Structure formats: C-alpha cells, structure tokens
C-alpha cells in the first residue's frame, strides 16, 4: 500500500488509531473501557482530572510533496516522520500527550505549499510544523509559519539561505547544509583522489550555491578547479553537456540528486567519462533509494553524506540497527523492493525527535508557547541515541542550523562502504544569520 | 457558431446580477472562515488571470500558451520594486509589474502575431519557456529556483494615509482591482476595437479584406491581455509575498486555458467562474482523494468538455456580452 495522507490506514499505524471497523466485541469492550474511564475520572482528585483532561494530542502539520515531480522523495521523507511518531506514541506520547500528524501534500509546487501551510496553521490549527522537501517550497512556507508564530522544523530542504540570508526565528534545520559537507569531503578529495577537479552541477539555486561552497573548499585545501559545467534541471539527454567536459583533471565532482543524478551517471558512464577521471560527488547522487537504478555504473563513486545505510563502525550501534530495521519495514510497505533508509528518512526522524525534546524541555502546551519551544531548541545538544541514531548534534542558537558528523563513503558492489568519518567540530561554519525582529 | 455581440445596452437584470455578485464577494470575509477567505482572494486573482487570457482565446480566437510569462513578469516586476525601494510602495510595485508585463507582452506579440492557430500557440509557449529558463537559472537576480520573498507593502496614498493590509482589506483591494479590470475589459470588448477582435476570430481573411490591419489589432490584443495577466501576477505577489519561477512555467498557461474552457470562453466572467470551480474542485478533492485527486478532476473536466462544451456560463454568452 502506498503512503497517503490517510497514513493512519497503513499496517504499521493500526495500533495507534481506530481502524474504522466496529464489531460487537469491540463495541462491548470499548463501552466497558469507557464506563471504567468515566468512573475512574469521577473518583480521582480534581488536579489529576485536570491533568488527564490535557491529554489532547499535539498536532504536527507535515508538509511533503506526495504528488508531482518530487513525490518519490516526499513519500520517503514521510517515512521518517511516521517512524518517529510511532515510537513517541507507543512510549506514551510527549508529556502524556500523543502526537497527531496532519499531513498536507503540496504537489511539488510552491504556491500550493504556501496554501497548504496556511491551511495547516489556520484551519487545522497545528501546534508545530515539520517536513518540507523542495527548498523553494520551504522558503515559500517559512514566512507563513513565522507570521502565525509557529515553529517549523524542516525535514529535508538543503538550500543554504534557509539558515543564512533568509533565516527566521521560527525555522530550524536539524541537519547539515552544503558548506559543512564541502568542508568535510574537500580534504579527502584533494589528498586521496587528486588535485584537479571539474564540477558538474544542476544549474539552479541549490546546485549553484553548493558548487560555490565546493570550489571554495577544494581551493582552500590545495586543489584546483579546472572547470565547471551546469546542466539544467530535468534535462533528459545530458550528452550535449557531458561532451563539453574536456581537458585534464583527476576527478569529476557531481552535484545532483534524484532522477537527474541517475541520468547523468548513466550517460557519463556510457560516454566513458569515468575511465579518465575518478567520480565523486554529493551524497544525493548515490542515495540508497536509487542505487538499484544506477547498477554497476555507480561502482567506485566517492561521496559525502550525513547518513549512509551501513552497519559497520561507528554506525554499528543498537540505536542505528533499530532505526535501520524499523525503517526498512515501513519503506517496504511503500516500495516492495524494500530500499534501505536514506538521509531523507533519517533527517525527518530526527527532526521529530528534536521537537519531542524541545516540547519536553519547555513544557510547551500549544502555539501560545512557541517562544518557549524556540528557546528550548536554541543551542540544544543531543547525543547519539535511539532518537538520534546518526550521531551527536548541536542545533546552533545563532542561526538554528545543526552541525553533525559527516560520512565519506564509496560504492562497492552497489552498496555503501564507509571510508571515513569527519567529526562534528571539523564541519562548523560561522553563522551568517541575523533574525528579523518578530 | 459564435456571433459578434450586438451593440445593444445591457439589461437591468444584468446589472442587478452584477451588483449582487460583487456584494456577495465583498461580504465573503464576514462569513468565510479564515482559510477560505484567503482562498477566495486567491480565486479572484486567478480569475483576473483567466479573464485576461479570454481576450485572446475568447475574443480574438488565439490560444496562448505563453500567458504564464506575462503573469510571472508582473510578479517579478512587483517583487523587484518591493525589494529595491524602502519602505515598500504598493503603487510603485504595481507600476513596475505592469511595465515589465507590458514590455514582455510587446516583445512576444511582435513575433508571435505573425503566425496563426497552432503556430501562434507554440510560439507563445516557446517564449514563456525562454523566460522560465532565464528566471530559473539567473539566480543572482531572480533567486533562481528559490524565487524571491519580500514584505507586503502597506496600502496608502502618499501624504494622506498609510495603513498595513489586513486580511479583509487585501480581499477588498483585490476585489476592487478585479471589478474595475472587468469593467474596463468589458468596455473594450464592446468597443469598435473589440468588435474588430471578434471579427478576426470569426473570419480573419474577411476582416483583412475590408481594410483592417489585422496584425496591429492582434498585437494590441496580446499586449492588452498580457497587461491584465501581469496585473494578476502583481496582485498574487502582493498577497503571497513571494515570486517563484514555477509561475512562469507553461503549466500555468495551461491552467488559464482550462479556466476558460470550464467557465465559458468569450464571456469575461465565465473564466472567473471557471477558475473558482477548478480551484475549489482541486482543493476539495485533494482532501478526499489525497494523491489521487487529479483523477476525478480529469474525469470531470473531460465530461464537461463533452456535455457542457460552452462552459459553465457559456450558455449566457450573448447576454453577458450585451
């Protein structure tokens, strides 16, 4: 069954929600339970009654593209949110209150995203917002959450400006961004793969800002940039662009994601580009969810990512094993091929857990306590645990940007293989944000 | 089958209906919940966009797939003015947006009106895609994929008053602009100029044969249409405080054609009704059918094309054009 806004119909969510079918046995059971509950409520002292009365769910508004160009990624990202919610609710909720997800499909369009964000805060009256996949939609929705004084915990959007020039006090990014990734892998590229690099990037905002970050870091580490090639997003036949990649260089660095990455890798391989230069790039080129589509053409690729689905040291923890196994179950319900979890699952899972900790710490009751929640989240440090299987993290106070360790990996036998771990303190970029006055 | 409207005056019934509809739209903020109130304002904006495309589709007989370029340039023009001038000025944003849309419309019109039928449609589509690619990749100026975000300008007249837009205030402002635009476009379509446009739609060679410079009329028609599409883009930017390249994509032009077909081409108000019907249908179905909502939307659209080819208000076309 595919994931939908009716996610509570999914197998894994059935024990969280009423199934919609009432049998006589269920009816009698529920009636007895209800009668017992009413009786118990009458017997318990008033303060306790009040406490029980507050057990209404926390409403979390989740924005994801479930249709349109980014649907596949959006559905994968939603798995992380749902997994975290399952766990929180099974453990009794937060401060005794369960989480209720209100999922909105923004059709991969910014205007729809903005309208849905408005619907979540105005009509559904959610307590906090979570999710987002496409950066342009996140940027379009951020002012809506800010206007309604609602905390927005982003789940995937990677555009640098979200926590720099366009930052706001209500938005948090609990995962990495391009400047950190560039700092992590550039020394490895120059030291182990070669000094001369050619960068191929998707020619739009994210690709361009990421390209600039890599150029800066490769040069800083003693490397050279022989040239750059921009390819328009969604180009089906990239051979004209790939043919222009000439000259002498040691490695080709790709800044791509999704179907574009699959197209580029396939066509560059067929044109023999990887025979003359080593192939490296952003981790999104080789996400586990589309490794099967790349086959052996991605063999030997070296990349950087905040999350890779391997269970070797230091990711051989029980926390990661549990996250990995539970994610696989949910992903298999979405895609019968049963892909491994990727960074989209991981970051949404951890985004929900940041919200959980923030709510616990601040005593957040609802949107009227947003500022308390913000203050609780600002500067929050978390340790590797069940809630954060990727590793330790700092959610920086100044710009609401998280810093975390990075993994350098290659692809061997169509699977990720961990090569190096870059610690969190080596990927810290100075803050470049000044929050507008609320 | 369509006929050039007769230049007789509108009936009292028409104006009574007009006043009732405008009054109902003006009262909407008092009865609608907050989300639907905002949605109603958005429908008015898309309605103006649909109305602007009706000048070409319904009155001149030219189907444009480049209307998104005019809408988008109006939007980006307003965005540029709002970002460049401190404090942001509403009237300047409108002026810059309209000038940007007009320039683009003149450029597109100059080249595309030399062609007819499907060739005209394809040329306009190509132009809109060119503008889309420029806006999408020229990140330093346009913000690229991320677009531009900005603050909403206040409503004011220099030297007299300046007040920030409230939700109701914005609705009434948009309603005022849309109503005035409708009255202006209605006057134009009923003027001798409008009659020539309809004559071109009915029989272009004969219009040429009786001495009209058809190309000039077509150019003015595209420019006029582009100008009002740009105005809707400006209003959208002011309401939503952001501009994005997705609005320049040809899919937006396609939606304008759908609004026209559903509402009734050649009626001006029909496309507004079509926009309202289509957007409401999408919003409601997306809540019921989730990611499969486009299937019932597509089925209903197909059924309408088969069984109500004139659109929702097409049956009253003659009366609406009086």
| pLDDT tens-digit series, residues B144-186 | 888 898 999 999 887 788 899 998 999 999 999 999 999 999 9
Partners of B161 in beta bridges: B157
The answer to whether residues B73 and B252 touch, using CB atoms and an 8 Å cutoff, is no
Partners of B149 in beta bridges: B242
Task: State the DSSP string of B184-207.
Answer: HHHHHHHSHHHHHHHHHHH-HHHH
Structure tokens that stand for A426 in this block: 């080596």
Structure tokens that stand for B292 in this block: 């499969």
The residue in chain B having the minimum alpha-carbon distance to the alpha carbon of residue A2 is: B291
In chain A, positions 99-138, which contact chain B (CB-CB < 8 Å)? 105, 107, 109-111, 114-115, 118-119, 122-123, 135-136
Task: Give the other-Cβ count within 10 Å of A134's Cβ.
Answer: 28
Q: Is B159 on the interface with A (CB under 8 A)?
A: no
Burial of residue A195, with CB atoms counted within 10 A of its CB: 0-12 exposed, 13-18 middle, 19 or more buried: middle
Give yes or no: residues A21 and A161 share one domain: yes
Place B104 in a pLDDT band, splitting at 50, 70 and 90. very high
Q: Which of B146, B164, B280 to mutate to test the interface with A (most CBs of A within 10 A)?
A: B146
Q: Is A299 on the interface with B (CB under 8 A)?
A: no
- What CATH number is given to the structural domain containing A246? 3.40.50.2300
Examine the pLDDT at B85 and tell me if it is beyond 80.
yes
Asked whether the beta carbons of residue B146 and residue A118 sit closer than 8 angstroms, the reply is: no
**Tokens 């009509």 belong to residue:** A123
Task: Give the other-Cβ count within 10 Å of B284's Cβ.
Answer: 13
Structural domain includes residue A396: yes
Query: Which residues touch A360 (CB under 8 Å, ≥6 apart)?
Result: A94, A95
Classify each residue of A140-164 as buried b or exposed e, where b means 16 or more C-beta atoms within 10 Å of its C-beta.
bbbbbbbbbebbbbbbbbbbbbbbb
Instruction: Identify the pLDDT of residue A206.
Output: 85
CA distances from B90 to B38, B49, B96, B163 (A): 19, 19, 10, 11
Q: Is B145 on the interface with A (CB under 8 A)?
A: yes
Longest dimension (CA), chain B: 56
- The domain containing residue A379 runs over which residues? 1-176+318-334+341-404
Question: What is the mean pLDDT of the segment spanning A397-411?
Answer: 97
Structure tokens that stand for A401 in this block: 């940007």
Residues of B in contact with A123 (CB under 8 A): 33-35
Give yes or no: residues A213 and A105 share one domain: no
Give yes or no: residues A92 and A107 share one domain: yes
Phi (first) and psi of residue B96, to 5 degrees: -65, -40
Nearest to A67 among B42, B133, B291 (CB): B291
Question: What is the mean pLDDT of the segment spanning A245-274?
Answer: 93
Asked whether the beta carbons of residue B286 and residue A105 sit closer than 8 angstroms, the reply is: yes
Over residues A347-391, the pLDDT tens digits come to 999 999 999 999 999 999 999 999 999 999 999 999 999 999 999
Give yes or no: residues A222 and A330 share one domain: no
Output the pTM of the full model: 0.83
Over residues B55-74, the pLDDT tens digits come to 999 999 999 999 999 999 99
CA distance B42 to chain A (A): 10
**Tokens 């070797």 belong to residue:** A312
Helix (H) or strand (E) holding A32: helix A24-43
Q: Is B240 on the interface with A (CB under 8 A)?
A: yes
Structure tokens that stand for B122 in this block: 């394809």
Q: Residue A402: which region, alpha, beta or left (left: phi > 0; alpha: psi -120 to 50)?
A: beta
Asked whether the beta carbons of residue B286 and residue A123 sit closer than 8 angstroms, the reply is: no
Over residues B17-31, the pLDDT tens digits come to 999 999 999 999 999
Please tell me what DSSP assigns to residue A354: H
Q: Is A393 on the interface with B (CB under 8 A)?
A: no
In chain B, positions 40-99, which contact chain A (CB-CB < 8 Å)? 42
Question: What is the mean pLDDT of the segment spanning A46-71?
Answer: 76
Give yes or no: residues A187 and A292 share one domain: yes
Give yes or no: residues A184 and A172 share one domain: no
Examine the pLDDT at B7 and tell me if it is beyond 80.
no
Instruction: Identify the pLDDT of residue B13.
Output: 83
The answer to whether residues B295 and B289 touch, using CB atoms and an 8 Å cutoff, is yes
Which residue from B254, B284, B256, B286 is spatially nearest to B271, judged by alpha carbons? Answer: B256
Q: Is B38 on the interface with A (CB under 8 A)?
A: yes
Instruction: Identify the pLDDT of residue A70.
Output: 85
CA distances from B73 to A204, A409, B64, B236 (A): 19, 44, 16, 12
The answer to whether residues A79 and A3 touch, using CB atoms and an 8 Å cutoff, is yes
Structural domain includes residue A427: no
Residues of A in contact with B146 (CB under 8 A): 135-136, 139, 159, 161, 205
Question: What is the mean pLDDT of the segment spanning B246-271?
Answer: 93
The answer to whether residues A287 and A342 touch, using CB atoms and an 8 Å cutoff, is yes
Query: Which residues touch B182 (CB under 8 Å, ≥6 apart)?
Result: B51, B268, B269, B272
Residues of A in contact with B35 (CB under 8 A): 118-119, 122-123
Q: Is A2 on the interface with B (CB under 8 A)?
A: yes
Please tell me what DSSP assigns to residue A425: G
**Distance from C-alpha of A175 to C-alpha of A281, rounded to nearest angstrom:** 19
Which residue from A426, A331, A334, A345 is spatially nearest to A390, judged by alpha carbons? Answer: A345
Helix (H) or strand (E) holding B72: helix B67-84
Asked whether the beta carbons of residue A136 and residue B145 sit closer than 8 angstroms, the reply is: yes
CA distances from B4 to B158, B192, B266, B321 (A): 44, 11, 10, 9
Query: Which residues touch A190 (CB under 8 Å, ≥6 apart)?
Result: A218, A221, A222, A223
Give yes or no: residues A88 and A225 share one domain: no
Q: Are strands A415-422 and B148-149 parallel, antiparallel or unpaired?
A: unpaired
Asked whether the beta carbons of residue B139 and residue A205 sit closer than 8 angstroms, the reply is: yes
Give yes or no: residues A280 and A221 share one domain: yes
Nearest to A122 among B34, B246, B290 (CB): B34
Asked whether the beta carbons of residue B244 and residue A119 sit closer than 8 angstroms, the reply is: no
Q: Is A357 on the interface with B (CB under 8 A)?
A: no
The residue in chain B having the minimum alpha-carbon distance to the alpha carbon of residue A158 is: B146
Task: State the DSSP string of B130-153.
Answer: HHHHHHHH-HHHH-GGG-EE-PPP
Instruction: Identify the pLDDT of residue B8.
Output: 57
Examine the pLDDT at A17 and tell me if it is beyond 70.
no
Name the 3-class secondary structure at A427.
helix
Count of positions (residues) in chain B = 322
Give yes or no: residues A275 and A359 share one domain: no
Structural domain includes residue A54: yes
Task: State the DSSP string of A68-108.
Answer: STTHHHHHHHHHHHHHHHHHHHHTT-BTTB-EEEEEEE-TT
Structural domain includes residue A34: yes
Q: What was the ipTM of the complex prediction?
A: 0.80
Asked whether the beta carbons of residue A139 and residue B149 sit closer than 8 angstroms, the reply is: yes
Examine the pLDDT at A44 and tell me if it is beyond 60.
no
Place A257 in a pLDDT band, splitting at 50, 70 and 90. confident
The CA-based dihedral angle spanning residues B8, B9, B10, B11, taken in that order and rounded to the nearest 10 degrees: -100
Instruction: Identify the pLDDT of residue A334.
Output: 87
**E strands present in A54-195:** 58-64, 99-105, 128-131, 152-154, 171-172
- Sign, CA dihedral A168-A171-A175-A177, equals negative
Preceding omega of B87 cis (within 30 degrees of 0): yes
Which residue from A300, A211, A297 is spatially nearest to A254, judged by alpha carbons? Answer: A211
DSSP collapsed to 3 states, A261-329: HHHHHHHHHHCCHHHHCEEEEEHHHHCHHHHHHHHHHHCCCEEEECCCCCCCCCCCCHHHHHHHHHHHH
Q: Is B290 on the interface with A (CB under 8 A)?
A: yes
Angle at A341 between CA A107 and CA A353, to 5 degrees: 80
Examine the pLDDT at A16 and tell me if it is beyond 50.
no
Give yes or no: residues A347 and A290 share one domain: no
Q: Provide the total of helices (H) and of strands (E) in chain A, helices listed first.
A: 14, 15
- Sign, CA dihedral A168-A169-A173-A179, equals positive
Q: Which of B134, B291, B293, B294 to mutate to test the interface with A (most CBs of A within 10 A)?
A: B291
Structural domain includes residue A420: no
């Amino acid at each position: 069954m595919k994931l939908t806004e009716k996610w509570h119909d999914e197998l894994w969510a059935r024990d969280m929600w009423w199934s919609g079918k009432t049998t006589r046995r269920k009816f009698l059971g529920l009636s007895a339970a209800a009668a017992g509950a009413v009786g118990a409520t009458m017997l318990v002292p008033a303060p306790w009654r009040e406490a029980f009365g507050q057990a209404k769910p926390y409403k979390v508004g989740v924005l994801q593209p479930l249709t349109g160009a980014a649907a596949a990624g959006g559905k994968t990202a939603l798995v992380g949110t749902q997994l975290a919610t399952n766990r929180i609710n099974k453990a009794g909720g937060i401060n005794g209150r369960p989480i209720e997800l209100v999922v909105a499909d923004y059709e991969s369009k910014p205007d729809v995203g903005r309208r849905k964000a408005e619907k979540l805060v105005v009509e559904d009256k959610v307590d906090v917002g979570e999710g987002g996949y496409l950066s342009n939609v996140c940027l379009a929705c951020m002012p809506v959450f800010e206007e309604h004084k609602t905390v927005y915990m982003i789940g995937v959007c990677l555009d640098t400006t979200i926590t720099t020039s366009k930052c706001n006090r209500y938005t948090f990014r609990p995962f990495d961004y391009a400047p950190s990734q560039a700092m992590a892998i550039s020394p490895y590229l120059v030291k182990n793969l070669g000094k001369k690099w050619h960068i191929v990037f998707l020619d739009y905002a994210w690709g361009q800002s990421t390209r600039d970050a890599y150029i800066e870091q490769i040069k800083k580490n003693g490397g050279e940039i022989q040239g750059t090639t921009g390819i328009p997003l969604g180009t089906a036949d990239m051979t004209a662009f790939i043919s222009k990649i000439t000259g002498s260089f040691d490695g080709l660095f790709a800044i791509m994601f999704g179907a574009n990455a699959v197209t580029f890798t396939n066509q560059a391989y067929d044109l023999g580009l990887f025979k003359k230069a080593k192939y490296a790039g952003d981790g999104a080129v080789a996400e586990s969810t589309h490794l099967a589509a790349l086959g052996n053409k991605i063999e030997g690729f070296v990349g950087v990512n905040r999350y890779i689905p391997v269970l070797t040291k230091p990711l051989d923890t029980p926390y990661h094993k549990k996250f990995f196994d539970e994610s696989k179950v949910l992903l298999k319900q979405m895609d019968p091929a049963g892909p491994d979890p990727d960074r989209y699952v991981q970051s949404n899972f951890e985004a929900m857990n940041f919200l959980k900790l923030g709510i616990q710490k601040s005593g957040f009751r609802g949107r009227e306590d947003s500022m308390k929640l913000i203050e609780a989240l600002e500067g929050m440090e978390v340790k590797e645990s069940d809630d954060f299987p990727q590793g330790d993290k700092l959610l920086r106070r100044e710009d609401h940007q998280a810093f975390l360790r990075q993994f350098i990996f290659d692809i061997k036998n169509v699977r990720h293989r961990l090569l190096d771990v870059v610690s969190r303190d080596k990927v810290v970029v100075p803050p470049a944000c000044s929050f507008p006055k609320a | 089958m369509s006929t050039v409207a007769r230049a007789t005056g509108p009936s009292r019934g028409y104006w009574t209906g007009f006043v009732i509809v405008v009054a109902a739209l003006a009262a909407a903020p008092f009865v609608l919940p907050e989300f639907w109130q905002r949605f109603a304002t958005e429908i008015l904006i898309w309605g103006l966009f649909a109305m602007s495309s009706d000048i070409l589709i319904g009155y001149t007989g030219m189907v444009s797939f480049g209307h998104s370029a005019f809408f988008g340039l109006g939007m980006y023009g307003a965005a540029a003015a709002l970002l460049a001038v401190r404090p942001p000025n509403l009237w300047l944003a409108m002026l810059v947006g309209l000038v940007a849309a007009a320039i683009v419309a003149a450029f597109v019109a100059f080249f595309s009106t030399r062609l007819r039928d499907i060739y005209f449609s394809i040329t306009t589509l190509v132009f809109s895609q060119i503008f889309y690619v420029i806006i999408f990749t020229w990140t330093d100026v346009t913000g690229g994929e991320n677009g531009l975000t900005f603050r909403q300008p206040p409503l004011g007249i220099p030297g007299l008053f300046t007040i920030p837009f409230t939700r109701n205030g914005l609705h009434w402002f948009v309603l005022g602009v849309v109503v005035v635009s409708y009255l202006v476009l209605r006057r134009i379509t009923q003027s001798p100029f409008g009659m020539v446009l309809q004559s071109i739609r009915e029989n272009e060679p004969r219009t040429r044969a009786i001495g009209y410079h058809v190309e000039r009329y077509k150019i003015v028609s595209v420019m006029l249409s582009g100008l009002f599409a740009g105005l809707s883009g400006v209003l959208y930017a002011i309401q939503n405080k952001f501009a994005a390249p997705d609005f320049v994509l040809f899919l937006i032009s396609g939606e304008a054609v759908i609004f026209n077909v559903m509402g009734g081409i050649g009626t001006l108000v029909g496309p507004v009704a079509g926009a309202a019907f289509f957007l409401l249908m999408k919003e409601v179905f997306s809540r019921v059918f989730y990611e499969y909502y486009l299937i019932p939307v597509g089925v209903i659209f197909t059924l309408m094309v088969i069984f109500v080819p004139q659109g929702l208000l097409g049956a009253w076309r003659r009366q609406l054009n009086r």
